Structure 1
Amino acid sequence: MTKARQALLARLTGSLPVHGSIVGVATDERTVVITYGDGPSPDGTPGVLDALADAGATATFFVLVGRARKHPELLERIVAGGHELALHGDDHVRLTDFSEEAAYRRTLAAKQELEQLSGQPIEWFRPPYGAQSIETWQAVKRAGLQTVLWTATAWDVKDVGEHERVAHAVRHCHQGSILLAHDGFAGPADGVDDGPEPEVDRGALAAELLSGFAREGLVGRSLGEALRAGKAVRRARFTE
Structure 2
Amino acid sequence: MLLRLGAAAVGVELLHLAPAAVRLPPVKRHLARRTAGYGDPGHIALTFDDGPDPRGTPPILDALDDLGIRATFFLLGAMLERAPDLGRELVLRGHEVAVHGWHHRRQYHPAPARDLRELRRATEAVTDLCGARPTWYRPPYGVLTAGPALAAHRLGLRTVLWTAWGRDWTADATGPSVYATARPSLTGSATLLLHDSDCTSAPDSWQATLAALPLIATHCHTHGLTLGPLRDHAIP
**Which category of TM-score, normalised to the shorter sequence, fits these structures?**
0.7 to 0.9
Q: 2:203 aligns with which of 191, 197, 200?
A: 197
Gaps of 5+ in 1: 14-18, 188-193, 233-240
Matches within 5 A, 1:152-231: 152-158=164-170, 159-187=172-200, 196-197=202-203, 199-201=205-207, 202-227=209-234, 231=235
Q: Give the whole-Å Cα distance in 1 for the aligned partners of 2:206 and 2:49.
A: 15
Residues 119 and 148 in structure 2, CA contact (< 8 A), matched pair in contact too: no
Gaps of 5+ in 2: 1-9, 23-31
| CA apart distance, 1:35 | 0.2
Return 88-97 or 55-64, whichever deviates more. 88-97
Could you say which structure has the higher helix fraction?
A: 2
SS of 1:27's partner is coil
Instruction: Report the CA distance shift for 1:127/1:3 in structure 2 as closer, same or farther (over 3 A).
Output: closer
Q: Would you say how many aligned residue pairs link Structure 1 and Structure 2?
A: 216
Could you say which structure has the higher strand fraction?
A: 1
Residue-by-residue CA offset, 1:16-61 (whole Å, 9 max, x unaligned)? xxx8862224325x21000000111122111211222222211100
Flag the structure with more relative contact order, 1 or 2, with Cα contacts below 8 A and sequence separation at least 6. 1
SS of 2:54's partner is coil
SS of 2:153's partner is helix
Task: Return structure 1 stretches of 4+ with deviation > 6 angstroms.
Answer: none
What's the TM-score, normalizing by structure 2?
Answer: 0.80
Residues 88 and 129 in structure 2, CA contact (< 8 A), matched pair in contact too: no
Residue-by-residue CA offset, 1:114-139 (whole Å, 9 max, x unaligned)? 21111111111110101122333112
Confirm or deny that 1:67 pairs with 2:73.
no
Q: Give the whole-Å Cα distance in 2 for the aligned partners of 1:79 and 1:207.
A: 22
Confirm or deny that 1:23 pairs with 2:23.
no
RMSD across aligned positions (CA)? 2.8
SS of 1:26's partner is coil
What's the TM-score, normalizing by structure 1?
Answer: 0.79
